[in-house]
Amino acid sequence: MHVEFLGVSRERAGVAELHVEADTLGRLVAALAAQTPGLAELIVVDRLHPSLAANLNGDRFISDPATPLGDDDRVLILSADVGG
Amino acid sequence: MPFGYHGRYLRIDVSRPSTSLAAALSKVEGRGSVERVPLEETVLRQFIGGSGLGVRLLLDEGTASLDPLDPRAPLIFAFSPLVGSPLTTSAKFAVVSKSPLTDRINDSLASSGFAIAGKSCGCDAFVIVGRAPELSVLIIEDGDVRVEPAAECAGMTCEETGAHYRSRLGVDFRIATIGPAGENGVRYATISHDGRHAGRGGSGAVMGAKNIKAIAVRGTQRPEWADRREVIAISKDLSHRSFGPATAKYRELGTATNLLTFNRFGALPTRNFQSGEFDQAGNLSVEQLTATRSKTRGSCATCTIGCEHIYSVGDGSVRLEYESLFALGSLCGVGDADVVLRAVQRCDELGLDTISTGGTIAFAMECVERGWLEAPWLTFGSGDALLRAIDLIGWREGLGDLLAEGSRRSAVAIGHNSIAIAPQVKGLEIPGYEPRALQTMALGFAVGARGADHNRSGAYEVDFSDKVDRRNVTLEAVRHAIDTEDRAALMDSLILCKFLRGVLEDFHGETAAMLRSVTGWDVTAAELRDTAARIVAAKQEFNRLAGWTPAEDTLPERFLDTPLPNDRSASLSRARLDALVAEYHRQRGW
């Protein structure tokens, strides 16, 4: 699936988007830790640091590592605190 | 008296012709132009400081029914027990008054040296009433209070005024000022201090109505802390944690980074809330801004986060926040970053709230588009029009005299049921969160004591989580909205910066520990929960005395029963909003 980075996650990843093979959120996050070293400090095994949030297709926010993902899904990684 | 406080406030009547009131203060305690009024410990414990203490003092003044620009209406600067401690982000003060924009409670916060110097004058708050006979500066130096003519500062910008008094009085004076907008009674004028602003609700107009151009403070009096070792230990730990991931967004990018995120979620208010997507958002992104101009960083006194991102523009520079970027950018359809930066800079110079300025101009642009307002030059996307309108507002010239009243009063004057598209709640222009796409925030806006407000309700956090479906919220969202409102009330009274909230893993437990170490009170997390609810209730009590009715806890017609054009699934029915508001009132006991 496609991963979109917004804000700090984009700065740390160094790219705006990535294509990653993973069938659950936990596997996706673990893959991101391996593929994008800049994000590693914001990932604990298969979970995002609480300062980050994951959203599926711009619709619902997801946090359970077991959340299934499909090939056509887009996962957005953004700051959990979006206020200002 | 508990540690951390002076146990008194100064009540200053600036209408008295005295130029030096020290004698009155020392000889006629409780009378004359300056009163030194004791504060009971029970009041301090119940309302802490900042917004809470300010609202309580405003209620005690018994002036809720007055016109906010009446000389008798108080303007309150309230400090807190944590000010002066090394606790990161604690150098903040609250400005509390009745709002000339909303005719409801207004509490605006600003940061830095003024808070420390003001509290060092030996009091926990200034309550300012009256009207000076001419444009004046109020000088508070330890126990001495003077009012001196300031005619030479008429028409000066905020920054010029601050520099003038630092030069005249000394660099160790901290200066809060109004710009031309405050002098001219613009209903959303700010009070500025060192480039930061008590921005929302028009406290600058209240100060202008008192003929006070600037307040200069300097002092030497610092209250003791109950447990100095514990204060320092907590401060060190908090500072260390404040360098971590929870504040990375603020430190590395600043709040301006929100713009692309909101645009991606279709929640970026655009062209007076006619859309949630802006096709030129990329021009205003942090990445683009940083690539095309120099940038420096700064921070408030005692702050370890350093959220200020200051961009060069023309021969100067400007501190940029998301709210200013959206309000003077996408909301007005302006995608030229240079123009938006100049517009923010001009608002800072004139002393204008950027959100209300952008909201009111965007509203006027749509009225022109619909043929309801005769000002053909004022079109969406026109940078020249935006900059021209800002100057007209600041000086109340031409069309600016109408727009200086804010979008609600302008709508009443324009007619055509334009109030339906005026982007405001209770008269306060809506910040950069599209209510149809973020419906917990929609509730927060509707019930906000000072109107549509992202600083008094952090309900957007709930929308950006797995707790709710942001485009179809249920009554379950209400308790979350209340929780964010209560936390904000507590942070605004302690006072701590909200950018610190992600660092606090046990919010109530940690803040109770801070307060214990400074005051010596045996305060608990449970007590602070009650305190927060009490402060929110006090704001509501002020509003009730000022004429509040449940009917005003709502949103403009634009947002109800009509889907967001760029996202048809983002639709908020009037029935759903009414149900959310009713449940909020029920849970609050109102």
Q: Which amino acid is at B157?
A: T
As a whole number of Å, the end-to-end CA separation of chain B is 34
Q: Does A4 touch chain B (CB under 8 A)?
A: yes
CA distance B198 to chain A (A): 15
How many helices, marked H, and strands, marked E, lie in chain A? 2, 7
Question: Hey, how many other C-beta atoms are within 10 angstroms of the C-beta on B349?
Answer: 22
In this complex, do B460 and A6 lie within 8 Å of one another by their Cβ atoms?
no
For residue B265, the chain A residues in CB contact (below 8 A) are 55, 58
Cα–Cα distance between B69 and B521 in angstroms, integer? 38
The model carries a pTM of 0.97
As a whole number of Å, the end-to-end CA separation of chain A is 30
In this complex, do A76 and B264 lie within 8 Å of one another by their Cβ atoms?
yes
Residue pair B110/B175 in contact (Cβ under 8 Å)? The answer is no
The answer to whether residue A84 sits within a structural domain is no
Residue B432's SS3 state is coil
pLDDT of residue B547: 98
Residue B31 has pLDDT above 60, yes or no: no
Q: Does A3 touch chain B (CB under 8 A)?
A: no
Please give the mean pLDDT across all residues of chain B.
95
CA distance A20 to chain B (A): 20
Q: Does B264 touch chain A (CB under 8 A)?
A: yes
Q: Does B501 touch chain A (CB under 8 A)?
A: yes
- pLDDT classification of B1: cutoffs 50, 70, 90: confident
Q: Which amino acid is at B465?
A: S
Q: Which residue, chain included where needed, has tokens 């002036």?
A: B63
Q: Locate the chain A residue with the closest alpha carbon to B501.
A: A81
Closest of B129, B181, B109, B115 to residue B450, by C-alpha: B109
Q: Locate the chain B residue with the closest alpha carbon to A9.
A: B249
Residues 6+ apart with CB under 8 A from B263: B277, B278, B281, B330
Residue B29 has pLDDT above 90, yes or no: no
Strands B125-129 and B8-13: parallel
For residue B260, the chain A residues in CB contact (below 8 A) are 6-7
Cα–Cα distance between A64 and B282 in angstroms, integer? 32
Tell me the torsion sign for CA atoms B18, B204, B256, B434.
positive
Q: Identify the domain containing residue A22 by its residue range.
A: 2-79
The answer to whether residue A14 sits within a structural domain is yes
Residue pair A19/A42 in contact (Cβ under 8 Å)? The answer is no
- pLDDT classification of B2: cutoffs 50, 70, 90: confident
Closest of B515, B560, B474, B549 to residue B52, by C-alpha: B515
Structure token digits, residue B460: 């957007």
Q: Locate the chain A residue with the closest alpha carbon to B261.
A: A6
In this complex, do B266 and A41 lie within 8 Å of one another by their Cβ atoms?
no
Q: Locate the chain A residue with the closest alpha carbon to B321.
A: A84
Structure token digits, residue B26: 């020392």
Residue pair B287/B352 in contact (Cβ under 8 Å)? The answer is no
Residue B41 has pLDDT above 60, yes or no: yes
pLDDT of residue A83: 80
- Closest CB from B253, B321, B454 relative to A7: B253
Instruction: Out of A47-61, A69-83, B16-30, B174-188, pick the least confident.
Output: B16-30
Q: How many structural domains compose chain A?
A: 1
pLDDT of residue B17: 54
In this complex, do B245 and A63 lie within 8 Å of one another by their Cβ atoms?
no
CA distance A3 to chain B (A): 13
Q: How far is Cα of residue B153 from the mean position of the Cα atoms in its chain?
A: 25
Q: Does A39 touch chain B (CB under 8 A)?
A: no
pLDDT digits (tens, 9 = 90+) for B222-272: 999 999 999 999 999 999 999 999 999 999 999 999 999 999 999 999 999
Q: Does A68 touch chain B (CB under 8 A)?
A: no
pLDDT of residue B20: 52
- pLDDT classification of A84: cutoffs 50, 70, 90: confident
* Phi, psi (degrees; rounded to nearest 5) at B248: -55, -40
Residue B30 has pLDDT above 60, yes or no: no
pLDDT digits (tens, 9 = 90+) for A32-83: 999 999 999 899 989 999 999 999 999 999 999 999 999 999 999 999 988 8
In this complex, do A61 and B261 lie within 8 Å of one another by their Cβ atoms?
no
- pLDDT classification of B181: cutoffs 50, 70, 90: very high
CATH number at residue A38: 3.10.20.30
Q: Does B498 touch chain A (CB under 8 A)?
A: yes
CA distance A21 to chain B (A): 23
- Closest CB from B256, B464, B501 relative to A82: B464
Closest of B550, B582, B571, B373 to residue B472, by C-alpha: B571
The answer to whether residue A12 sits within a structural domain is yes
Structure token digits, residue B331: 């909301």
Cα–Cα distance between A79 and A28 in angstroms, integer? 17
Cα–Cα distance between B552 and B114 in angstroms, integer? 35
DSSP calls for B317-354 = EEE--HHHHHHHTGGGT---HHHHHHHHHHHHHHTB-H
Please give the mean pLDDT across all residues of chain A.
94
- Closest CB from A41, A58, A84 relative to B258: A84
pLDDT digits (tens, 9 = 90+) for B415-467: 999 999 999 999 999 999 999 999 999 999 999 999 999 999 999 999 999 99
Q: Does A30 touch chain B (CB under 8 A)?
A: no
* Phi, psi (degrees; rounded to nearest 5) at B93: -135, 155
pLDDT digits (tens, 9 = 90+) for B89-147: 999 999 999 999 999 999 999 999 999 999 999 999 999 999 999 999 999 999 799 99
Alpha helices in B76-176 (DSSP H): 113-119, 158-169
pLDDT digits (tens, 9 = 90+) for B536-588: 999 999 999 999 999 999 999 999 999 999 999 999 999 999 999 999 999 99
CA dihedral B423, B425, B427, B433 (to 10 degrees): -50
- Cα angle: B207, vertex B183, B163; to 5 degrees: 85
Cα–Cα distance between B220 and B144 in angstroms, integer? 12
Q: Does B507 touch chain A (CB under 8 A)?
A: no
Structure token digits, residue B227: 């447990």
Strand positions, DSSP E, B199-355 = 212-218, 295-298, 308-313, 316-319
The answer to whether residue A52 sits within a structural domain is yes
Question: Hey, how many other C-beta atoms are within 10 angstroms of the C-beta on B376?
Answer: 8
Residue B339 has pLDDT above 60, yes or no: yes
Q: Count Cβ–Cβ pairs < 8 Å, chain A vs chain B.
A: 79
Residues 6+ apart with CB under 8 A from B120: B84, B142, B217, B218, B219, B220, B221, B222
Cα–Cα distance between B280 and B261 in angstroms, integer? 14
Of residues B437 and B19, more confidently modeled: B437
Cα–Cα distance between A76 and A55 in angstroms, integer? 5
The answer to whether residue A75 sits within a structural domain is yes
Peptide bond into B393 cis (omega under 30): no
In this complex, do B461 and A78 lie within 8 Å of one another by their Cβ atoms?
no
Cα–Cα distances in angstroms (integers) from residue B461 to residues A52, B308, B320, in the given order: 12, 22, 22
CA distance A16 to chain B (A): 11
In this complex, do A82 and B258 lie within 8 Å of one another by their Cβ atoms?
yes
CA distance B322 to chain A (A): 6
In this complex, do B466 and A63 lie within 8 Å of one another by their Cβ atoms?
yes
For residue A81, the chain B residues in CB contact (below 8 A) are 246, 249, 461, 501-502
pLDDT of residue B143: 76
CA distance B266 to chain A (A): 9
Residue B109's SS3 state is strand
Structure token digits, residue B78: 């309230």
* Phi, psi (degrees; rounded to nearest 5) at B154: -55, 130
Mutation to test the B interface, candidates A9, A25, A74, A79, most B Cβ within 10 Å: A79
In this complex, do A7 and B502 lie within 8 Å of one another by their Cβ atoms?
no
- pLDDT classification of B365: cutoffs 50, 70, 90: very high
pLDDT of residue B456: 94
The answer to whether residue A45 sits within a structural domain is yes
Strands B424-425 and B428-429: antiparallel
CA distance A47 to chain B (A): 14
Q: Does A50 touch chain B (CB under 8 A)?
A: yes
